[in-house]
Structure formats: C-alpha cells, structure tokens
Amino acid sequence: MLGETIATLGDLIAFPTVSTDPNLDMIAYLADRLEAAGARVEVLADAGGAKANLWASLGPETDGGIVLSGHTDVVPVADQDWTSDPFAMAERDGRIYGRGTCDMKGFIACCLTLAPTLAGAVRTRPLHFAFTHDEETGCIGATHLVADLKRRDTRPALAIIGEPTGMRVVEGHKGCYEYSTHFAGLEGHGSTPDAGVNAVEYAARYVARLLDLKDRLKARAPAGSRFDPPWTTINVGASKGGSAHNIIAGRARVDWEMRPVAKPDADFVKADLAGFVADTLLPAMQAVHSEAAIALETIAEVAGLEPMDNNAARALVAELTGANAAHVVPFGTEAGLFQSLGLDAVVCGPGSIEQAHKADEFVAIDQLRACLDMLQRLGDRL
C-alpha cells in the first residue's frame, strides 16, 4: 500500500498545477481514481472553465458525513534552486522530493490509495473527498465549494484538512486577509512636486500607518493566546509605483496582508485605515487634484480556524492518531471555511510546513505511512 501511495504521489507531482495554471488534468485523474473506487464524483468547474473543484462521496446520501479535504494547486518554482526536476518525483534518503509533496499532494495520494478500502468500509455514515483549486491564492476554490455545499439538502458534520502538520492534530490557526491598495495621483515634472500628486509618497504614508498598526496590534493579543506570535500580524509584501527619477508618480500599489487572531482585530485594522484615508490622505490628494483616489482591493478574506471546547473532528483524529494534545499554528488553511459551514474541523496531514513553498520540497516516507495508518483506522470507524 505504501508503494502504491508513492507511485500515486509521483503521478500527482507530474501535474504542474501552479495556481496560475489550469488544474483540470489533475482533477480528471482524481475523478477517474475515485470513480473506480465506487465514489459518486462531481467536477465543479469555476466560472472561467480552467479550474475545478472535485467533490466525491462514498456511502449513503445523508447528513453527518466526514470530509477529507486537500487542495490541488501548488506554489510556483520560478527562481528557486532545485537539485532535481520539481515536477518529477525523486526518492532519496527516506524522502519523496517534488513540488507539492507535502503541500499537499502527499495527503491526496494517501486518500486515493485508501479509497477502495474506505469504500468497502462505509456503512451508515458518508465519507466525502473535497479537492479544491487556488488555495494558495486565497482559498478561492474552497470558498466556492462551501457556498455550493450550503445550498444542498444534506450536509457533512466533520472535516479533516490534510495540510502538513507532521501528523499532529491542529485545532486552530489564524485567518488570512490579503489586500492591494491602489493610489491614483497626478503625474508631473519632478522639478515642481507641489504641482502634482505623488502616488508613491501617499503609498509610503499608508505603509507607515500599516507599520503603526502592526505595533499597536501587539497590545491587543488575547490573554493566554496560544499562537506564535500571540497577536494579529501585518505584513507589507510589495510596494510598486512610479516610472522614473524625475517624474511625479501618478500610480502606486501596496500589497499587504494581516493574520488576525480574531475577527475584531481585522475590523479594527480596516476601520482605522478607512478613517486615515478618508480624513487625512484623500483630502490632501484631492486638494491638488480632485480626481485623485485610493481604492482597497480585497484579494481574499479567509477565516481562521477557531479552537472550540467541543470539537468532534479533533476528538476523532486524536483517537485515530493516538495524539494526546491539540495545537495551533500560524499558517492558514481551508479549515475555517468548513467551520463557517457549521462543521467541526481539524487539520492533520503528512509532512512539515517547514518544507512547503521551498526548493527541494519533500515529504518523509514515514509521514506517508503514518497518514495511511490514520486513514485505515478511519475506515474501521465508518
């Protein structure tokens, strides 16, 4: 079974499902494998037709099912120094190398390998597979999938998201809110800066406000927060604008994100920035040029996974893995979206987040074995 999982992982790695590219070939492969195992398979294409989610079910068409969830997309490999082809599996020293091995095609390979066994085990409780697109660019596929599930007559009860946790049970993580703020000023000659509206300068003042908020959020850390760091964070990822040394910059953009511990922190940041723009930046810009503008573009607002006193998914996976503790992590997953649907959710999967997104990404074979063991025990409880 381990050998089949490694071979399947090799197949999955060979699909170059970078988020900017289609994932339909991989979705077709997953659909074929799950249909062969006896699953009812739905391919749910996005509006553009180049991306799709896959939803597959085993067992009765009733409420209360268990979801095994993973994303099909991977991050780019451009400008990374790989020692082997990132889209061709390499095995050495007890590890499987390739883009997506731990994030998170290793988990998907385990699900495919065990699907026939799980199909034979299902009796009174459904088992669902949810394989999504564009997790790496804002959980776009899972957002669409959850909206679709809300419209259905039957609803699952638990979700296990197989992101790389070293097979530890993770019951909580921060949210991930990503934005681009666009500045439109007025170009002019650099020798007369007061005659124009320098978008880069106003973008810099906006970044300074973000940095001020970044420090202020530390004082809002909840007492007893288990996150590391314990407060909501802000990161300025990119700032772009202008065209030449001697031209007043007419356009600028700031790409930034925050990882809220709780939604009130996100509301606090957005309200503060909106007030700063409306009361300070825009009046100064429009005093020179009435058509100057600042626009906030929301790239993604993905809810965090909130730890709960009673979490049936946590209890189940702790039983399956033998874990006696549950953890929180700083990175985001699709788990909060499933939780927003009313499901109990937990994150547990093979590999380490320390290897994700890097050159020579890998998953240890022992981690795949542990994941297979967890899923086999799940079959015993279906």
Contact between residue 378 and residue 66 where contact means Cβ atoms under 8 Å apart: yes
Residue 224 has pLDDT above 90, yes or no: no
Averaged pLDDT score across all residues of the chain? 96
pLDDT score, position 381: 85
Average pLDDT over residues 322-328: 94
Radius of gyration of the chain (CA): 23
Which residue did the predictor score with more confidence, 318 or 380?
A: 318
261-302 pLDDT tens trace: 988 999 999 999 999 999 999 999 999 999 999 999 999 899
Band (330; pLDDT cuts 50, 70, 90): confident
Q: Is the pLDDT of residue 17 over 90?
A: yes
Domains of the chain: 2-172+307-380 (3.40.630.10), 176-302 (3.30.70.360)
Full-model pTM: 0.89
Could you tell me what percent of the chain has a pLDDT over 70? 100
* Measured distance between the N- and C-terminal CA atoms of the chain, rounded to whole angstroms: 20
Q: Which residues are catalytic?
A: 73, 135
The predicted-structure confidence for 352-376, as pLDDT tens digits, reads as follows: 999 999 999 999 999 999 999 999 9
Residue 48: its H or E element: none
* 110 neighbors 371 (Cβ within 8 angstroms): yes
Distance of alpha carbon 135 from alpha carbon 142, whole angstroms = 7
Q: 87-138: per-residue pLDDT in tens?
A: 999 999 999 999 999 999 999 999 999 999 999 999 889 999 999 999 999 8
Q: E strands, the chain, where?
A: 40-45, 52-58, 66-71, 90-92, 95-97, 127-132, 158-161, 170-173, 176-184, 188-189, 233-241, 247-248, 251-259, 293-302, 327-329, 344-347, 362-364
pLDDT(73) > 90: yes
Q: What are the pLDDT digits (tens) for 169-183?
A: 999 999 999 999 999
Is residue 382 pLDDT above 90, yes or no?
no
